[in-house]
Homo-oligomer: A and B are copies of this chain.
């Protein structure tokens, strides 16, 4: 319920009958992918009115922008606004027993590093919903350094391995212009530890200005660590079920566009995070502002660790996707993921 409220950017109430009709149209169109006619609404929705009445209501709904007509003599199709109303007034569904079981099984058996779990979670989500799934793991921009280690690959190549408090590990190669022996590397490693432990990536550190081998190594290693790629602070993206794109969308061109977006992982991250920042759980059609995703709806659910945002799960489908089921799945998985990571910490 809280969710539903948080998720309503613009849903003026609608006359109850209109609401029922709109809902019927949406449901029907989601199931059939066809324009919906007045008679099928009159039959289906159990409001005891004639098709003619439904028709006049539909005209009105069309004027208000909730429905559209592909051509003069066809049924109606929901607009993005129509879907939005539908979603905002959707009572939250619950996962079917089979799906619940799948989720339970998954989290009971899943093992391995965070990355592996997140990766596998995309499979779970796609299996649950038949939609393309996205899992975003938060960056480690405010994690502190637990330990760094500089090792010699050969005399001119060193590797800086940094371990962060959130369990992430990052490596950077360092190339030196002079030969370095093991003692120098060990000494540099020691100094780097002293310098970097408990700092974050954002912290600026005081590097030695001397020009001996060790000091130079330390300088280069530290700068390698702080040379953050400008576009991201290390979020990870996992995408699962991209083949579903070809099943679920019609029209090669749409498929191509969607795949092209999915290829740009940075874009996907920002897309998901934009939606979360706006407090939404669903972005429909043009709402997310990506031209080439106009045919898509994206459901997102945040994952938190110890109350602070740690990532998100998402489901990407056509605007006529099965919102209730997909939202239930996204929520269940995000909840379990939160518990999986958070709970582990508590128990440990």
Chain A residues at the B interface, C-beta cutoff of 8 Å: 113, 146-147, 149, 151-157, 159, 161, 163, 165, 167, 169, 171-173, 175, 240-243, 245-247, 252, 255-257, 259-260, 262-263, 344-345, 347-348
Is B173 touching A113 in the complex (CB atoms < 8 A)?
A: yes
CB-CB under 8 A from A156, the residues of chain B are: 347-348
CB-CB under 8 A for A263 and B243, given A149-B147, A348-B154: yes
In the assembled complex, the Cα of A152 lies from the Cα of B243 at a distance in Å of: 40
Q: Name the one of B147, B155, B344 contacting A348, with C-beta atoms under 8 angstroms.
A: B155
The answer for the CA separation of A242 and B242 in the assembled complex, in Å, is: 9
**CB-contact partner of A252 in B153, B157, B246, under 8 A:** B246
Does the CB pair A113–B242 fall under 8 Å? no
A257 partner residues in chain B, CB cutoff 8 A:
243
Residues of B within 8 A of A167 (CB): 153, 157, 159, 171, 173
Report A59 CB to chain B, min CB distance, Å: 36
Question: Which one, B171, B252, B256, B263, contacts A169 given CB within 8 A?
Answer: B171
Q: When A159-B167, A243-B259, A256-B246 are in contact, do A175 and B348 touch as well, CB less than 8 Å?
A: yes
**How far apart are the CA atoms of A326 and B154 in the complex, in Å?**
36
Judge whether A163 and B155 touch: CB under 8 Å: no
Q: CA separation between A147 and B171, bound complex, in Å? A: 13
Min CB distance A193 to B, Å, is 11
Q: Which residues on B sit within 8 Å (CB–CB) of A113?
A: 171-173
Please give me the residue from chain B that is nearest to A175 by CB atom: B348
Q: Which residues of B contact A240 (CB under 8 A)?
A: 263
Q: Quick one: closest B residue to A250, CB to CB?
A: B252
Residue numbers in B under 8 Å from A163 (CB-CB): 149, 151, 159, 161, 171
10 more CB-based (< 8 A) A-B contacts, given A157-B344, A243-B263 = A146-B151, A149-B161, A156-B348, A159-B167, A161-B161, A167-B171, A169-B169, A243-B257, A246-B259, A259-B259
List the B residue with the shortest CB-CB distance to A241. B263
A149 to B259 alpha-carbon distance, docked (Å): 40
Closest chain B residue to A169, Cβ basis: B171
When distances are taken between beta carbons in the complex, the residues of chain B under 8 Å from A259 are: 242-243, 245-246, 259
Residues of B close to A151: CB separation below 8 A: 146-147, 163
Q: How far is the CB of A157 from chain B (nearest CB, A)?
A: 5
A-B contact pairs, 16 of them (CB 8 A): A146-B153, A147-B149, A149-B161, A154-B348, A156-B348, A159-B169, A169-B171, A175-B348, A240-B263, A243-B256, A243-B257, A243-B259, A243-B262, A246-B246, A246-B259, A247-B256
Complex contacts, A171 vs chain B, CB 8 Å: 113, 163, 167, 169
- Contact of A263 (CB < 8 Å), options: B242, B247, B256, B348: B242
Q: Least Cβ distance of A14 to chain B in Å?
A: 37
Residues of B within 8 A of A161 (CB): 149, 161, 163, 169
Interfacial chain B residues near A243, Cβ < 8 Å: 256-257, 259-260, 262-263
CB of A242 to closest CB in B, whole Å: 6
Residues of B within 8 A of A152 (CB): 146
Report which of B149, B165, B246 forms a contact with A153, defined as CB distance below 8 A: B165
Interface centre among A243, A262, A348 (most CB of B within 10 A): A243
Compute how far the CA of A167 lies from the CA of B150 in the bound complex, rounded to whole angstroms.
Answer: 12
